[in-house]
Structure formats: C-alpha cells, structure tokens
A and B are shown apart, each in its own frame.
Chain A
Amino acid sequence: MQMTTGFDNSANPAQPRKGFFSRHVFTANHRAIGLNYLWLGLFSVFLGMAMSLIMRIHLIWPGTNIPGLSSLASAAERYATLPLLHGSLMVFFVLTAVPQAGFGNYLLPLQIGAPDMAFPALNLVSFWATVASLLGFTTSFLIQPSSGITLWVLSVALFSASTLFNSLNFAVTTIDLRAEGMTLPRLPLTVWAWFINAILSLLIFSILLAACLCLLADRFWGSHFFHSAPFLASLPPNLQATTALALWQRLFWFFAQAEVYVAMLPCFGLVTHLLSTLSRRPVWGERFVVFAFCGVGLVGFFVWGQHMFSSALDPFSPLVFSVLASSLGIPAMFLILSWLATLWGARIQLSASMLFALGFVSLFLSGGISGIFLARQDLSAAAVSDEFITGHFHLVMGVAATFAILSALFFWFPKLFGRRLSEPLGKLHFWLTFAGVYCIFMPMHWLGLVEHSHSPSTRAVALANAGSSLRSSITVAMLLTVFAQGLFLFNFLWSLFRGEEILESNPWRATTLEWNQASPVAGTGLGTSDLVVYRGAYEFIDSGDSADFLPQHLPPAHGPKPGGELKMDSA
C-alpha cells in the first residue's frame, strides 16, 4: 500500500525497519490511529447499511427469504435488534468516531503544529477499547436477545469510556500543545470544532456511562434504579405514569440529544473549513462561527425533554423544552448564513469535495427545517409518526454528516495516502447519492404526517395505497443508493493503489499547517520547533491566480508584492 507517511526510519537507517503491525496497528502514532479509526468507520458504515437494507426489504416484502440473512430477521425479537444495531453502528462508529477520532486524530496535531497527541499511549488504548466495543456490539446481535442486551449495554459503556479518553486527549492537546504563534483566534475552525466537541463529549459520555452502570446494576445485581413492570403495576395509578420510565428517559435523552448536536460539530468544522478553502474565500464571521458551534453544542444540553412531551410530566415543561429546542435554530441559521456568505461571489469550482460540502449545506438545511416542526410540543406527539422523525434525523444527521466525511476524504486523501481519488467517479457517486437520499428520506416526512391524519374512510384507503407504494419506492431508491456506494468503495480502494500520485505538497493551495509543514524540527535540547504561526487560517487574497493565499506559517517579510507573485520559500 502506498503510504506516504513514512513510518520507516529513513532518517536512521541503522535501525531495522519495524514490521507492519508495529507500524500500523500497535503504534501510538496519531496518524496511524486516525487512519485505523477511518478503517473502522468504513467497515461499520457498510455493515450498518446492510442492516438497513434487510430492514427495508422486510418492511416491504415481509415474506422474502434471502438465504443466510433472513434468519437474522426471522422473529420479532430478532428483527428488533436490527434497528438497534444499525443505529448503534452508525451513531457511534460512523458519526461519533470518524469525524472526531478519525480525522481529528490525524489532523489535529498537524494543524496546530504539535508532534503528536498529548497522551499517545492513552490514544492507543482508546482505539483498542473502541474495537472491543465494536466486537461487543456485533456479537450482541448474534447471540440470544436477553444476554445480547446485556452485552450491548456493556459495549456502550466501553465505547463511552474510550470516547472519554479520546476527548481528554483532544482537549489537552489543543490547550497545551499548540505551536508558537498558534493563538486561539488563529486556530482553524476544524480544530475549534474538535475542541468544543471534546469538551462537550466529556460531559455527556460520563452521563451515559453512569446510566449504563445503573442499567447493568439492575441486570446483574437486581438493584432498582429502573423499575420493573411488576413493581410498576403494584403502584397506585397516579404514581405509575410519572415513575415509569421517566428516569431512564431523562438520563438517556440528556446524553442522546446533546450527542446528536455534538456529533455534528466536527462536520460543521470540516465543511466550514472546506467551503472556505475550496472557494478561496475567508470564512464569513469567523469568530461568530465559533460561538455558533458552542451555541449548537450547548442547546443540546437543555432539550432532553423534547422526547418526553407525552410522558405525563409537569404540564409546563413541554412548553419550556419546546422553546429551548426551537432556539437551536439561531446558531444553526447563523452557520448556514456564514456558509452561504462565504460562497457568495466566489468563483466556485465544483470538485467532488466541493460538491459534497455543498450537499451537506443542502441536507442540513432541508433536514433541519423539519426539526422546527418537531420542536413544537403540540404538533410532534399528536400529528407525526416515527417516520417523520426518521426522515428528519437521517437527513440532518446521517446523510449530511456522511457528506461532510466524504468531502473531507476527497480533500485530504492526498495528505493521507499521497494520491488522488478519481474525480469523475466521485462526482458520479455524489449525484447518485444526493438524488438517492432525497428520494429516500423526503417522502418519509409525508408518510409520517399522513399516518395520523383523520380522513374519511374513502380517502383513507387511497392514502394507505399511496403510502404503501411510496414505501416501496423508498426501498427501491434505497437499493439503488446503496449500490451507488459501491462506486465509492471501488474508487477508494482503487485509488489507494492506482490513484494519481500527487507531486506537490499542497495541491489544494490551503493555508493550514498540515499542508505546509516544511521547516524541519531543530532537535535542540529543549525540543523547540522552528514552526511558528503568523496569521489565521483563512487568509485568502482575491488575486485570481495561484498565489491567492497566505499559509499560516509563512513569515510576514515574504508577503505578496503588489501585483507580483507570492514568494514562498517552502512548499
């Protein structure tokens, strides 16, 4: 495999070259670990897609027998594990791990000019804990549901612990290991997003860990944190409703709602960074974008009750949660405004990376709008079914985040592997997927609204027929979209070995440090580095030629001469 990361000790030929496993698997080097998380994510996303395929096929054609796979959905209990595993894989290993632990581990130290993460050994431990947790998840699916659930909870707890360690690493690295001159205002927005995500993850995954501990205590030692059904039945009726599942709901949703916002943060960071770099424009309202990141993350902490509108809590609490949930719109709109303002008037080149970044904006906007409806406490419970919610969160969380990841992958593939992904294949993959996901998830909104509508019986039959044919077409669209991902997989694997090699260190003419680290380490006694940062990350000049940017590490004396070429002594 063409790995241009140079793990062999070319600077020190006397040392024997380390084997494959010590270079790529058991090393604490942040780049290897970042790549390993990406491989993990790649595996998980395809496994998760397979789960969703089985679910949809059984939804539309219940009697279908796919050899080997149908037994996985043969009984109700077995079928119920499919959405659980699909969700766990996608939310944890793709959405949470890939943009943060995958891209973050690889790029964060490079972008701030650090030699590695603050605690490399802890980084390695976190990765292997994540792998163990993935094994736990997949095994839990294959064994009996009663013990499967226990194993699932254990795996969630393990994943939480590994994410906590990871987040600790990210936070400490960003605070303490920045290169000289890399002040907080000069941090690239990707780094800001990783940093804010890390702080917030530290808070919420601790809560999940506590909730899992209580659940495991109930299962193993018979404790009474979450009441069992017989106990509830013995309570007087007025106490039953409030006592029931309220505690688990509160704990879980306090984590989970914050988590879905927090998990989007690295995607916001990536897309903001990419839109700016690819359109050669500085980020509009850069400082406020950071505040908007914080705002989105923080709102997530105050809205757990939006999942409990019908849980018979205090009558005023739904109103409070509804207002708070709607307030997410403020930072979200600011971000969309910033992205659009950044692009306004720019000469946009529609590379695959740019297409996916633009696709992210589109999906986030359209998926987010349905969120405004869901925030209304009177509307959501009575008027929409789960299908509406499924459409909403898949657009905004599942697909938009995936587009952000793909955009980042197309952009940083040269950095990771020294080659380019195929642009024509990438663009084809984009258009097929973009059309496909809208065909899949947009109709779900309509289906969700129609489900609870009160129509006269004649219309009801017509609606039911329309609904069922729509569901079938969703499944067909899904089949086509999933197969379109095969294009991506082919592109990815083929380009690893046969992709066009890049000959320059900065093919995108980006400003951030990972592209322009050319000054060698001095290696003096104090371990100082010559790398100094002189400016922010988005200094683009409207010169229309290839010298339209100022790398962060370039000293001011080599600034652009008026109308002249930019002299750069590096890259």
Chain B
Amino acid sequence: MVAPTATPEVDEILEDTTRGGGPIPPFGGGGDDDSAGEDRRPGNPSPDRYSTGMAIGILSILMFFMALASAFIVLRRGSGVWVTVRLPRILWVNTVVLLASSFTLESARRRLAFANLAGFRRLWLATTCLGLLFVLGQVVAWRQLVLSGVYIASNQASSFFYIFTAAHAVHLLGGIGALLYVLIRNFEKSKLPRRTAAEVTSYYWHFMDALWVFLLALLVLGH
C-alpha cells in the first residue's frame, strides 16, 4: 500500500505520461515554428524534439569520426613507416550511388510535401535500395582488398581504411533501418507525423553522405 503524497496533484501531473509536451516556450522571443505547429496533433509530443535530437545525435557521431580522423592525421604525419592503401576504384562508384540516394531522398520528400504518397513511396524505396547498393559496394571493396592481401592487420594505413569504412557502413545501416521504418510504419496510428519522420531521417542520411565524402577525401589525401 503506497501512502499518498502531501500533494496528490503532483502525482496526477507526474503520472499523466500520455499527455504531450507543453506549449512551445517563448524561447528567444520567437513563437511557434510554423511547420511544427501544423504537424502537432492533439495530445502528441512536440515534433521539435526529434529534429533537436537528431541534430545533437549528428554532432555526437561527428565527434566520434573526428576522433578517428585526428588519430589518422597524427599517425600519418608522425610516422616514417606509412604504407598507403591503394583505394579500390569501386569506391568512386559507391560514392556516386550514395550521392544519387540523397537526391532521390529529397525528391521523395518533395513528393510528400505535395501529398503524392505513391510517388513518395517509390522514390523512398529507391533511396533505400541505393543505400543497400552502397553497402554492398563497400563489401565488394573489402573483398578486393582482401584478395590483394591487404587486411585490417596488415599495417596502420589499412587499419584506418577498414575502420573508417566499417564504422561509416554500420552507421549507414542504421540509416537504412530508419528509411525502412518510414517506409513501413503506419503513420495513421503514430504520434509522429510522417513528414517529421522523413525530415529527421533526411538530416541523418545527408550527414552520412557528407561524412562519406569527407572520409574518402581524407583517405585520398593520405596518400
């Protein structure tokens, strides 16, 4: 038997987990973000939290890769025994594939904005397939390297190559998971509007894109 608190109203507030977030506070003198206002449904959490969460998550992932990149730069510059890895040419094909997927992603979102759900689904599926194609291409690149005798344990340069590409691929698979979620989820029953989910996923996907270009540039410049 749990004793009541001195302020039972406090428990009512705290127990009411079904209610959504409060009104957007007067932050920085501004009012509501218009798109967020439209998307907010009665009793649903404010969609701002998802974009903020994604932005912050991206910052964190960026720091993770910056740690690896700075390690790469420090070792590359300080080492007299660096053996460069010959980059498989399929990496350039993969890059084009990934950039194309960002393009289809944006086209899909534009279709969604004009309420063309079928068009949105088609292009979104295309994005997902291109993403998978990229990952497959990365696997092919690894196989090519292994066949030519370059393993993660061969030398420092190859260690970095594998860790960069593997870490990026793992994060990209997470992105593919998000793409599939947006594709499959029944948004009629969800607290999260489809438009917000698509928007937030797009931030992540474009970030993965830019990150890959950055990593590739780093590997190329490391020669």
Among A167-201, those with CB < 8 Å from B are 167-168, 171-173, 175-184, 199
> Is the C-beta of B8 less than 8 angstroms from some C-beta in chain A?
yes
Known A-B contacts A181-B25, A203-B63; A247 and B71 likewise in contact (beta carbons under 8 Å): yes
User: Quick one: which of B5, B23, B153 contacts A528, CB cutoff 8 A?
Assistant: B23
User: Quick one: which of A114, A171, A223, A571 contacts B159, CB cutoff 8 A?
Assistant: A223
> Is the C-beta of A480 less than 8 angstroms from some C-beta in chain B?
no
Chain B 152-163 per-residue mask, 1 if CB under 8 angstroms from chain A, else 0: 110110011011
Known A-B contacts A119-B49, A172-B49, A223-B162; A4 and B17 likewise in contact (beta carbons under 8 Å): no
Rounded to whole Å, the gap between the CB of A35 and the closest CB of chain B is 13
Rounded to whole Å, the gap between the CB of B127 and the closest CB of chain A is 25
Bound-state Cα–Cα, A254 to B68, Å: 13
User: Of the 9-residue stretches A94-102, A331-339, A512-520, which lies at the interface with chain B?
Assistant: A512-520
User: Quick one: which of B5, B20, B52, B61 contacts A418, CB cutoff 8 A?
Assistant: B5
Bound-state Cα–Cα, A529 to B43, Å: 11
Bound-state Cα–Cα, A282 to B153, Å: 60
Q: Please, which residues of chain B bring their CB within 8 A of the CB of A179?
A: 22, 25
Known A-B contacts A115-B13, A518-B9; A235 and B49 likewise in contact (beta carbons under 8 Å): no
Known A-B contacts A118-B49, A209-B64; A4 and B4 likewise in contact (beta carbons under 8 Å): yes
User: Quick one: which of B7, B66, B153, B167 contacts A224, CB cutoff 8 A?
Assistant: B153
Q: Please, which residues of chain B bring their CB within 8 A of the CB of A11?
A: 11-12, 15
Bound-state Cα–Cα, A217 to B80, Å: 22
Q: Are A3 and B2 in contact (CB under 8 A)?
A: yes
Chain B residue at smallest Cβ distance from A254: B67
Rounded to whole Å, the gap between the CB of A49 and the closest CB of chain B is 33
Rounded to whole Å, the gap between the CB of B49 and the closest CB of chain A is 4
Tell me if A's interface is mostly helix, strand, loop or mixed: loop
Q: Are A10 and B11 in contact (CB under 8 A)?
A: yes
User: Quick one: which of A114, A183, A222, A525 contacts B22, CB cutoff 8 A?
Assistant: A114
> Is the C-beta of B79 less than 8 angstroms from some C-beta in chain A?
yes
How many A residues, CB 8 Å from partner? 82
Q: Please, which residues of chain B bring their CB within 8 A of the CB of A466?
A: none
Bound-state Cα–Cα, A163 to B56, Å: 14
Q: Are B67 and A251 in contact (CB under 8 A)?
A: yes
Chain A 91-118 per-residue mask, 1 if CB under 8 angstroms from chain B, else 0: 0000000000000000000100111101
> Is the C-beta of A239 less than 8 angstroms from some C-beta in chain B?
yes
Among B57-109, those with CB < 8 Å from A are 57, 59-68, 71, 74-75, 78-81
- Name, among B14, B25, B61, the residue most crowded by chain A CB atoms within 10 Å (CB to CB): B25
Bound-state Cα–Cα, A221 to B145, Å: 16
Rounded to whole Å, the gap between the CB of A514 and the closest CB of chain B is 9
User: Quick one: which of A164, A210, A517 contacts B13, CB cutoff 8 A?
Assistant: A517
> Is the C-beta of B16 less than 8 angstroms from some C-beta in chain A?
yes
> Is the C-beta of B222 less than 8 angstroms from some C-beta in chain A?
no
Q: Please, which residues of chain B bring their CB within 8 A of the CB of A211?
A: 67
Q: Are A223 and B163 in contact (CB under 8 A)?
A: yes
Known A-B contacts A168-B60, A217-B152, A418-B3; A521 and B23 likewise in contact (beta carbons under 8 Å): no
Chain B residue at smallest Cβ distance from A17: B2
- Name, among B10, B59, B65, the residue most crowded by chain A CB atoms within 10 Å (CB to CB): B10
- Name, among B23, B42, B49, B60, the residue most crowded by chain A CB atoms within 10 Å (CB to CB): B60
Among A188-242, those with CB < 8 Å from B are 199, 202-207, 209-211, 213-214, 217, 221-225, 235-236, 239, 242
Among B1-49, those with CB < 8 Å from A are 2-17, 19-27, 40, 42-46, 48-49
User: Quick one: which of A31, A120, A176, A203 contacts B52, CB cutoff 8 A?
Assistant: A176
Bound-state Cα–Cα, A180 to B27, Å: 9
> Is the C-beta of A523 less than 8 angstroms from some C-beta in chain B?
yes
Q: List 28 A-B contacts (CB under 8 A).
A: A4-B2, A5-B14, A11-B15, A29-B17, A168-B60, A177-B21, A177-B22, A177-B46, A179-B25, A180-B22, A182-B25, A202-B60, A210-B65, A214-B71, A217-B159, A224-B153, A225-B160, A243-B79, A247-B74, A251-B67, A251-B71, A505-B5, A505-B6, A518-B9, A518-B10, A527-B22, A527-B44, A528-B23
Closest 10 CB pairs of A and B: A222-B153, A6-B11, A210-B67, A527-B20, A223-B159, A206-B63, A525-B42, A206-B64, A207-B67, A4-B5
Residues of A within 8 A of B (CB): 2-11, 29, 31, 110, 113-116, 118-120, 164, 167-168, 171-173, 175-184, 199, 202-207, 209-211, 213-214, 217, 221-225, 235-236, 239, 242-243, 246-247, 250-251, 254, 418, 502-505, 517-521, 523, 525-529, 531, 571
Residues of B within 8 A of A (CB): 2-17, 19-27, 40, 42-46, 48-49, 52-53, 56-57, 59-68, 71, 74-75, 78-81, 152-153, 155-156, 159-160, 162-163, 167
